[in-house]
Structure 1
């Protein structure tokens, strides 16, 4: 195969998963040159957006964090090695972009033990980020600058909130650039009068997007909060008045921002989509998921597997207390039924789902990959 024309080799390699391609670099100099070239890395990532997507499921089980790959349509699950994180330490799956995934750990007792990692699950390559000026908080965001021309122009946002007298607080926001390998302090720019419970995040273009969590006894949340990684600035997007005020999960659906909102009146979940980014009037309700929380089983959404399936965590009540363990359950929107899928998890709040791509982007050096 070493004598094959480059265009034929390229077409063959584009159809092979990332991990063996890393080994193929050692075959000969010409293969290494092709497989590490900016052209091939970009072409491989573009093909992955169509053919090599998979889901990463992070959950705690028996007080231990683990990550598994979920591959539809057969609901196959396989473990991933996260031993680069300190053995036995719990972690948060922040998000994934261009095949690179961000994790964070948060130690309330010894703050300097908290860390942030970037990881390519396709190749196993990982790196621990340098410590920020302020300790790693439990509010960490992960984003990407699509305007820079580099496929590895990742940004990590570390947000420390200091309460002086509730609800007043000050903040220290820092951003890390993967390409510059350094932190930059932005100061007290976290939006005022905003809950510190940001919930999950999604990456949309150059924005990190959150839908702040509703907490009983607190003011209802009626907006999205965004961080622009190009301008290093926060923004807000209003939610429509017709959207339920209950707890919400932000997601991406058919290339648009979407929200799964809990209707406190019906106890069902509503799926809303923002058809035109930044335009409040473009919010549209797509459908209602008829999963009630009024019975002895409580269902809470984790995220979309695709446009037709949603992961939930189901929890059985015993009196006023939860019965442990809870389970991951896969709901089919079209059939309006749960599919056979049971994975025990400790609780809903530590269960996360992100979509990832097979990728050859390296974390050991800057690839200078151009769009």
Structure 2
């Protein structure tokens, strides 16, 4: 084994899934040294953007949170083990970056029971973050600083809002650095007059991006909220006036920020893409997704399975006496057809989708402060 050319061995390993590579570390010292080297971890991450992508689908079923994995283009789902989260506890899938996924739990009754977890689904490694100074809120963001040059320079944002008399409030913002394994308080920096429910998020370069739906003085505000991980600062970004004002889902499509916006007048969902980041005029409507509202129910998108398919939650109304039924479906943009999964979910609001990469980034090294 030791005489095998390292460059050839590296090329072979770069094409293998992460789970076998974790076992290969035990074969010999030279293999372990190669597979844990910063060079190989970075190279594997770069290769994963082309070869090792998958989707994580989180949903609640029978009042219990589950996570399943979906590999495009196959329309199959398989379970993942999330037993590291307290048994029976519901959780939120915040986002995923460089193969590391962030979860949060939120206990309204006993706030200090709420926790934040980081998890590498490719290796099974996980860790609970140290508790912040203020309790974990229901407004948690997960980001990454690509400007640092470190593939594990992750940041978690925890925003607590204290309402005095709406719309007046104060905020306490804290950020956790994975490389330093500690929290830092930023104070009352959350933008004023904004919703406490920002919806889903995406990570774009060094920004955590949200596209909330909220009203202020009976007026619907159309804008994006961004948190700059490198600068520790929030900012607002306007959306075009011609974009529908209904509820929006933010996503990434073909390397650009994208929004799926509900059009209340046409009952359709419109897919928009921002071709030039930060330029409002560059927003372009790509296509529409069927009727979002039908006679017997409603279709609500939760994200792109890939550039040609959209995951949908179909909810069918059974009448006043029976509970509505929601299940997962895939919408094929080209054929304009829906394919239903045999997966029943409690509701649309607790169903989430994020794209993930296979990664060998380790979470165990946070015990020692990094520099």
For this structure pair, what is the TM-score category when the shorter chain's length is used for normalisation?
over 0.9
| Residue matched to 1:122 | 122
SS in 1 for 2:249: strand
Q: Is the 8 A contact 1:259 1:273 kept in 2?
A: yes
> Distance between the aligned counterparts of 1:100 and 1:127, measured in 2?
11
Map Cα deviations across residues 201-241 of structure 1 (whole Å, 9 max, x no partner): 00000000000134799531300000000100001110000
| Residue matched to 1:302 | 302
Structural mapping, 1:147-162, within 5 Å = 147-162=147-162
C-alpha distance 175-334 of structure 1, shift in aligned 2 (>3 A):
same
| Residue matched to 1:359 | 359
| Residue matched to 2:223 | 223
Q: Is the 8 A contact 1:41 1:369 kept in 2?
A: no
SS in 2 for 1:8: helix
Q: Does 1:260 align with 2:260?
A: yes
> Distance between the aligned counterparts of 1:355 and 1:269, measured in 2?
21
Which segments of 5 or more consecutive residues in structure 1 lack a partner in the other structure? none
Q: Is the 8 A contact 1:209 1:224 kept in 2?
A: yes
- Deviation at residue 19 of structure 1 after TM alignment: 1.0
> Distance between the aligned counterparts of 2:214 and 2:299, measured in 1?
16
> Distance between the aligned counterparts of 2:329 and 2:323, measured in 1?
16
Identify which range, 292-301 or 200-209, moves more after superposition: 292-301
Q: Is the 8 A contact 1:214 1:248 kept in 2?
A: no
> Distance between the aligned counterparts of 2:329 and 2:138, measured in 1?
27
Q: Is the 8 A contact 1:210 1:225 kept in 2?
A: yes
> Distance between the aligned counterparts of 1:234 and 1:321, measured in 2?
46
Map Cα deviations across residues 330-351 of structure 1 (whole Å, 9 max, x no partner): 0001101102423110000000
| Residue matched to 2:317 | 317
TM-score by length of 2: 0.96
C-alpha distance 189-323 of structure 1, shift in aligned 2 (>3 A):
same
Structural mapping, 1:186-335, within 5 Å = 186-214=186-214, 219-319=219-319, 323-335=323-335
Map Cα deviations across residues 120-148 of structure 1 (whole Å, 9 max, x no partner): 00000000000000000000000000000
- Deviation at residue 78 of structure 1 after TM alignment: 1.0
- Deviation at residue 169 of structure 1 after TM alignment: 0.8
> Distance between the aligned counterparts of 1:215 and 1:236, measured in 2?
16
> Distance between the aligned counterparts of 2:338 and 2:370, measured in 1?
42
CA RMSD of aligned residues (A): 1.9
| Residue matched to 2:28 | 28
> Distance between the aligned counterparts of 1:3 and 1:324, measured in 2?
63
| Residue matched to 1:180 | 180
Q: Is the 8 A contact 1:225 1:234 kept in 2?
A: yes
Q: Is the 8 A contact 1:45 1:357 kept in 2?
A: yes
Map Cα deviations across residues 268-299 of structure 1 (whole Å, 9 max, x no partner): 01000000000001111111112230421201
Task: Figure out how many residues of one structure are paired with residues of the other and give that number.
Answer: 370
TM-score by length of 1: 0.96
Q: Does 1:164 align with 2:164?
A: yes
| Residue matched to 1:77 | 77
> Distance between the aligned counterparts of 2:360 and 2:76, measured in 1?
23
SS in 2 for 1:127: strand
Map Cα deviations across residues 303-345 of structure 1 (whole Å, 9 max, x no partner): 0111110011011123468833310110001101102423110
Q: Is the 8 A contact 1:152 1:369 kept in 2?
A: no
Q: Does 1:101 align with 2:101?
A: yes
